[in-house]
Amino acid sequence: MAKTIRIGILLSGGGRTLENILKHIRKGTLKGLAEVAVVVASRPGIRGIEIAEAAGVPAHVIRRNPGAPGSVQAYSDAMVARLDERKVNLVCMAGFLSYWVIPERYLGRVMNIHPALLPAFGGEGMYGHHVHEAVLARGCKVSGCTVHFVNNTYDDGPIILQRPVPAYAEDTPDDLAARVFREECIAYPEAIRLFAEGRLRIEGRIVHVLAGGKPTKPRSR
């Protein structure tokens, strides 16, 4: 039986992804498999902190001082100290917009969800509506979401799973964002479940999803 993993959530905004993960822990895909051990926010006064506190999850604000020497590393060290303190097994970035340096011992234990089908429309500055605007401006017929392991290059880590959606010429960025987010609400809990069950194996840039010791396709709903 899979163990209950302790998740650290990193966020910078409204907390919709945190809300979805908590819902799946209470009565869905992640019940008995995961718990949110800590939330770390990059700025104060955001709804994500309120959601964490309402759920009884410790929430901390860690802000970077961009003018200070070595600020990125100092910021990253403070983040990792919080995660270590709460004995986190898996870190889930949930709309987290601050760059941090992931130490080697955390590689393979940090996930992110991106609102496009990587490697297209990724990289520094490509987040939220910037992504959906770029997809529509390019005339893409398909978009979607990607859950991937995170390394220290923007949107470059090994892909765990993807879920596509159609993109229509008449779409606004809000239309496409809503369609993609519905799939994010399925994809992220699914990826966390596979991690908790020990079914993800990274080989170079490829993530294999295991069932009975053999690679297989992720379960969809």
Helix or strand or coil: residue 63? coil
Beta partners for residue 214, in sequence order = 211
- Is 130 among the catalytic positions? no
Burial letters for 96-119: b for 16+ Cβ neighbours within 10 Å, e otherwise? bebebebeeebebbbbbbbbbbbe
d(CA 57, CA 36): 7
Which of 114, 129, 148, 208 is labelled catalytic? 114
What does the alpha-carbon distance between residue 134 and residue 137 come to, in Å, rounded to a whole number?
A: 5
Residue 45: count of CB within 10 angstroms of its CB: 8
The residues annotated with a catalytic role in the active site are 114
